A and B are shown apart, each in its own frame.
Chain A
């Protein structure tokens, strides 16, 4: 199990990717926005800032603008912008769609045709679009994220379906659906521990796959990250929100999370310091 290095090797530290959103995130609370205030309108500059200034080791580009229930930006337009970001940076990158299966298929397919030989991780592949997106990812040899709703068996089932399609599980990460601290983290936590146990002690090959946790977006939705300083005895807003994100990350890593997507630079640093402390 994670960090139990007294009895087995843990070859890689968990990797933390910083979240970059493809449209100015008006709804982000000020204590988060202020760290990106000069780049919120420019995803490429934003990604570069994360890498150069905040030492991000990976980037997640979230295509929220494509959501049909939101801005509904055209797939080809969004893909073009995403390709510019991807071609402009040189760290591992995940491209995370809006969660609408059809729209994500369109956008991500379009994207793969624009980025040449550069490899990015495509996300999320769900029950509804794993065939089309899985085929695209395979054809262009991109890794991918298989997303299923908080359940060991559903995660396994999707991996089996992907394998039947011809996908090599070496190129897949599981997104078990993440709940933030105070918002169902206990379900995610136990499902992740069970996935890990099945993979390690029951040698379930279908679950021997890294786990990715897109937690920043969940945490920063929470009321507790939005409440002003001093409200309800909860102290300083920014510190509180950072701790909400960092502790969510801590729980996810303890339960088996290997790739975390986070937002606040200080929360990222705390999570990295924790990893260093556990692996010192």
Chain B
């Protein structure tokens, strides 16, 4: 259990020296309890207290990092069962699997698609982040050749090595160098050798059980052997089994602080269905319910894109609305006679408004004003969408150079702002648009610039 501010205060020197940049020890303790300050910032606290507090504040699911530099991948760090309780910290990583049993062209195709299938949405780059390399038959030579190939051809990929042969694994991990791979495949049979290899390479180890109980046993042994960073697989390969194990594991870790299951999980829809669409359905379920990494057999835009949308949506912080950038957006190729509309930068508003405009094929200019992610009415009430601010934004954005007419369409909910805006924007006609985006197509089809 996390400690309260008062419990932490008892371990502090209570000097109120202010050396931690916070005036009193009580205020500092409250900040540490809330996770806003690190206990290390106090120069006088004992090491023993540091350890107690550090342990108590560590998330129940261990944070595990792979890769290196800008393209590294982080999993785990989760603290809750439902996203509305706080937030999900690290999004499920999507991986594509290549194996030593695959034809070279199949491997090349997967690596190529891994690199090209990337999408930008609300300023986020969405893509698969990992490649899983499987040693299908224990042939160390083939395995390391494939690992070398992936490392060279996909320099941004985070790597999952899949082998049950500790020797092959050690060699492959060495080849990865700084690009810390996940070494997946410690079972009851090879645990000691795998633990040694993982320690040697200083990489996270993947544990594969034959069922939940068996996995707990392996995990306990690995922890006893001194390993800290692990990713777990209960071995379930049916949708029901996988879902159950994921729910049980997350709940045991979060609610009961059950350490052997306090690690990110990895799921293998690629081993559960031959139909790529069904495989994606399985991935969809376990993304929402707690998988840290999901390994797919292949990547295709028509299936990957919807999965990435789910990933983006489920892992959005519920306390921070998604925003789009303040700018002039062109829809359907507008010209100097096209209508000009304005709305807020709450991403949902943007998607719905731009979607409706796009759908009706009327070329338009859509002005997005930064309202800190608030919706139209809330932003107006909070003083972030006032007439003066809109006027400044319109001048800065330079819309006057882009259109001949001088007519601005505002959201129907802001009808009361018309007069004020006309004062702030001399020469502009302010037209009140519909309240609901759904009525925009009819409105725009009728629209003619004011004379």
Please report A residues at the B interface, Cβ cutoff 8 Å: 3-6, 27, 69, 179, 181-187, 189-190, 193-194, 197, 221-224, 226, 232-237, 239-240, 242-244, 246-247, 250-251, 254-255, 266, 270-271, 273-274, 277-280
Contacts and interface: CB of A to CB of B under 8 A. Distances in A.
A179 B358 contact: no
Interface stretch (B19-27, B223-231, B273-281, B388-396): B273-281
A224 B305 contact: yes
A17 B407 CA distance: 45
Contacts of A3: 240, 243
A186 B309 CA distance: 10
Given A183-B348, A274-B285, A190 B83 contact: yes
Nearest to B84: A190
Contacts of A235: 300-303, 305
A240 B352 contact: no
Interface in B235-260: 238-240, 243-244, 247-248
Give the interface size class of chain B: 35 or more
Contacts of A197: 82
22 contacts: A4-B247, A5-B240, A181-B309, A183-B351, A183-B352, A186-B83, A186-B314, A221-B355, A235-B305, A239-B302, A240-B302, A244-B306, A246-B277, A246-B280, A247-B306, A247-B310, A250-B281, A250-B285, A251-B288, A255-B288, A277-B281, A280-B239
Contact of B284 (A224, A233, A251, A255): A251
Contacts of B282: 274, 277
Contacts of B240: 3, 5, 277-280
Q: Which of A4, A233, A247 has the most CB of B within 10 A?
A: A247
Given A190-B84, A223-B355, A233-B117, A182 B313 contact: yes
A237 B117 CA distance: 15
A189 B313 contact: yes
Given A234-B302, A250-B285, A271-B281, 5 more contacts: A185-B310, A186-B313, A243-B307, A254-B289, A274-B281
Q: Which of B119, B351, B358 has the most CB of A within 10 A?
A: B351
A247 B117 contact: no
Contacts of B305: 224, 233-235, 240
A186 B318 contact: yes
Contact of B288 (A194, A234, A254, A271): A254
A181 B302 CA distance: 14
**What 6 pairs across the A-B complex have the smallest Cβ distances?**
A235-B302, A235-B301, A277-B239, A240-B302, A243-B306, A239-B302
A223 B358 CA distance: 8
A247 B84 contact: no
Nearest to B281: A274
B66 to A, nearest CB: 25
B82 to A, nearest CB: 5
Contacts of B306: 181, 224, 240, 243-244, 247
A232 B117 CA distance: 9
B348 A247 contact: no
B119 A189 contact: no
B301 A233 contact: yes
Contact of B302 (A185, A243, A277): A243
Given A182-B309, A185-B313, A189-B313, A274 B303 contact: no
A123 B83 CA distance: 30
Contacts of B348: 179, 183-184, 187
Nearest to A224: B305
A179 B281 CA distance: 19
A266 B303 CA distance: 14
A235 B307 CA distance: 13
Interface in B38-97: 82-84
Given A232-B119, A247-B310, A278 B239 contact: yes
Contact of B314 (A5, A189, A279): A189
B285 A221 contact: no
